[in-house]
Structure formats: C-alpha cells, structure tokens
Amino acid sequence: MAKLTVRDLNTHGKRVFLRVDYNVPLEEKDGAMVITDDTRIKATLPTLRLLIAQGAKLILAAHLGRPKGQREATMSLRPIAARLAELLGCKVNFVDDCIGEKVEKLAGELPPGGVLLLENVRYYNEEEANDPVFAEKLAKVADIYVNDAFGAAHRAHASTEGVARIVAKRGGKCAAGLLMELELKFLGDELDQPARPFVVILGGAKVSDKIKVIDRLLDKADTILIGGAMAYTFKLAQGFQIGQSLVEKDKTDVALAALEKAKRRGVQFLLPTDNICVTPVKTDKLNKKGRPILDLTNPRTNAEANIPASEEGVDIGPATAAKFREVILGAKTILWNGPMGIFEDKRFAVGTNAVAQAVVDATQQNGAKSIIGGGDSVKALNKAGMGDRVTFMSTGGGASLEFLEGIALPGVAALSEK
Ligand code: AMP
C-alpha cells in the first residue's frame, strides 16, 4: 500500500517533526569540526523547501556517529545547522538538546517556515533503545511526523519509529519525505514490476550479507551477475580452487541452493570466468585486528577456472567484464549492489569501473532504468564521476539491503497509509 507523503499534507502553522539523515563525515580542523561531504544534507533540501513553502514549523531531528549516550562534542550537529543555513539561504536555529523545556520553548516560538535543528538524538541511550518515555518527550514538539531518513529506517529507534507511533495514536499524520518517497519508488515499486530484461549485478565481500537479496531477486530477475569476493564462495561450491581468495567456506551450501534455484526458475546466473589475481605477501605492519597487513603483489590476469594456491582473486578479469557489459547493455532494468573487486585499490577497480560504465551506457544510450542499491557501488560511481548518469542511487546501505530482502522497515511501516 502507498504511504502518505509530504505532498499530501497541509502543514501550514503546524509543528512538523522531521527525521533526517545528517550522519555526515566530519574532520577536525583548527579545533573545529568541518563537514567533508554534505551530500546527505543536500539530499533533504527538496523536502525542506516544500515544507518551508507550506509554512510548516520545522523541527529537525538526526543522529551523528555513535556517541553511545554521551554528549560527545565531536558528534554535535551544530556545524550542520550552519551548513544547512547556507544551503537553504535562511536562518536555521540550533538547540543543544533534543528534548526538554528549552526545545519546547524554541519550537513554540518558530514562525511558519521557521527551522530548528535539534542536537544529536543519540546523546541519549534511550534513542536506540526506542524507549517509550523518551519518544514521548521527543513527540512533545510534533503535530505531524515526517521521515526523510531512509538510511536509518531499518532501525526501530525512538526518532525513526517511536515518535511516529505516538503521533499516529494522537490522530496526527505520519508521512514520507520526498527522498524517502523516491527510495520507496525505486527500490520498491519499480523493481516489483520491472521492464525486462531485468539484470541484477551483485558484488562485495560476502554471500552471507546478500543471500536473502539473491534469493528474493531470483524470483524476479532474468539474469544475475556475480562479482566481488562473493563469487569465490560460489566457485568453491562448484568445486573450483580459489587459492587465498576471500571466501566463506561455511556458505557453500547456501551458494549451491541459490544456483539450483536459478536453474529451476530459468534465471541466467553468471559467475566470473576469469579474474585478476595477486600474490599476497605478509608485511611487518599489523591491521586494527592485529593481523599482518598483506602486500598484494604481481597482479596478473588469470583466465583459468582455478586460482593457484599461492594467489588471491581481487577483481573480475577482462573477459568477464566484457560479458557482463554485453548483458548489461541488453537490460531494460538494472539493479546493482556491491563492487566487483577491491575497488579501493586503483589497480583492482577496473572491473567495478567497467560495470559502472556499462550501467551508465545502458541508461544513457538504451533508456534502461538503473537503480544503484546503496553502499560501495554508489561510492564507486561517484569516484568515477558517473553518479549523475544513472536513474537512481539509494542513500541507504543496510536499509537498502533489508528493503530489497523484502523486510518491512520499521521506519517505513510506522508511516500512515494514503
Ligand atoms: P560489501 O560491503 O559487501 O558490498 O563489500 C564491499 C567490500 O568488498 C569492498 O570493501 C571491497 O574491497 C570488498 N571486495 C570486493 N571484492 C573483493 C575481493 N575479490 N577480495 C576481497 N575483498 C573484496
């Protein structure tokens, strides 16, 4: 059923409690915290502008980092108020708490179209515990609840779920913001009835993270392309040697079940036929977990089905990239989640970039709808300067995956139906 959105509301003169995702990266510079990427702030501007134009009194709530219930100064939302004021071109008030008399007073004094940003909701442990008393305190300034924080919607926290339930109980409306609406449209409706062929590209580290998504998409997709370390679990399950490659040995049965389901349902399921291999060599340096950092030496293309015992697969090879491109160019709907290799290292980003280019070409030249399911694929597209050339890039990471698994996200479930 469709969710109510901000476009269905009349918020004039009403206090709108708006949950946003302002969990932006910050860096300390000359004693002050500076925002290094404001993409998430910019993504909320359409909703903010609409509500300001309606004459709502806007009370913005968000979390930043993991302060674990402490007033951690480096995780204050204060710098975000300043940046938001610049972007909106209007005053943004800031209050150094998210509940209490001070908040209620300032919210009460807001004129129609006024904006108040609350301090980090995670300064209270009650936020993540979805404590009902805390949620009541937050809800004191809420006539209407709007959620535009898709990236936090998979968590049933006080500001993402509890407040909505309280507002609804009082007879108030709970609506999706414009960004949330887009996420639900592209990750939901568009993939429910995809134009065919529907091609799904999955990569990244682990099969276990994505097996539920694979299982669900096997009911819908025409073709599934698998890259990344995930492919090695499938390869191992098929009896190939995978050398030192990252693998989940205990997930081969899961991989085999997916391969069988693909066969049963007539879904084309393509694994890499070649790869880029390196020889990992231990260094003296240790990583955060105390394990030796490996130098990935002697990269080479391996066109054999097996990977030698001393080597590790770190990217898809050129023949696989070419085959994946051909399939992607034939698609009418594309969903992509997860890199094809260790793309953080330029040497092993070639396969991921080739897939990114193919997705962009299918979109721009063939009119395919391309949906990027969040996380590292979004990073890879942005890094390659191609972020604006696909149909939609999800702002969620964990939330996108859970939504694609078909799980009802608590932050979405709490919103009113149209
Ligand atoms: P995920 O969060 O599951 O999408 O995984 C993303 C991570 O998978 C990235 O940090 C990649 O470096 C990593 N990755 C992709 N392919 C490989 C590979 N062949 N070996 C090791 N790590 C990989």
| 108-145 tens-digit pLDDT | 999 999 999 999 999 999 999 999 999 999 999 999 99
**How far, CA to CA in Å, does 194 sit from each of 5, 22, 36, 336?**
23, 31, 36, 14
Q: How confident is the model at residue 288 (pLDDT cuts 50, 70, 90)?
A: confident
Ligand 1 mutation target, pool 202, 276, 335, 342, most atoms within 8 A of CB: 342
Cα of 83 vs centre of ligand 1, distance in Å, is 33
pLDDT tops 90 at residue 353: yes
Catalytic one of 140, 206, 347, 383:
206
Residues in the chain: 418
φ/ψ of 63, rounded to 5, equals -115, 160
Give the position, in ligand 1's atom list, of the atom nearest the Cα of 228. Answer: 16
Show the tokens assigned to 310: 């001393």
Q: What percent of the chain has pLDDT over 70?
A: 100
CA–CA gap between residue 179 and residue 174 (Å, rounded): 15
Cα of 46 vs centre of ligand 1, distance in Å, is 33
Please report, as a single letter, which amino acid is at residue 317: G
Site residues for ligand 1, CB cut-off 6 Å = 204-206, 209, 228-229, 246, 313-314, 338-339, 341-342, 344, 375-376
Specify the pLDDT at position 1. Answer: 64
40 is catalytic: yes
CA–CA gap between residue 412 and residue 5 (Å, rounded): 11
Residues of the chain with CATH 3.40.50.1260: 6-182, 194-385
Lowest mean pLDDT among 15-19, 38-42, 144-148, 156-160: 38-42
239 is catalytic: no
Q: How confident is the model at residue 397 (pLDDT cuts 50, 70, 90)?
A: confident
Give the position, in ligand 1's atom list, of the atom nearest the Cα of 210. Answer: 3
Catalytic one of 203, 375, 396, 411:
375
Mean pLDDT across the chain? 95
**Contact of 24 with 195, CB cutoff 8 Å:** no
Q: Which candidate, 352, 337, 353, 370, places its Cα nearest to that of 198?
A: 370
The more confidently predicted of residues 224 and 401 is 224
Lowest mean pLDDT among 76-80, 377-381, 413-417: 377-381
CA–CA gap between residue 106 and residue 111 (Å, rounded): 10
Q: Which CATH superfamily is domain 194-385 in?
A: Phosphoglycerate kinase, N-terminal domain (3.40.50.1260)
Catalytic one of 15, 19, 40, 137:
40
Q: Tell me yes or no: is domain 6-182 CATH 3.40.50.80.
A: no
Q: Which spans in 24-131 are helix H?
A: 39-43, 45-54, 78-88, 101-109, 125-128
Give strand pairing partners of 150.
none
Give strand pairing partners of 116.
59, 93
Give 390: exposed, middle or buried? Use CB within 10 Å, 0-12, 13-18, 19+. Answer: buried
Cα of 190 vs centre of ligand 1, distance in Å, is 27
Give the position, in ligand 1's atom list, of the atom nearest the Cα of 343. Answer: 12
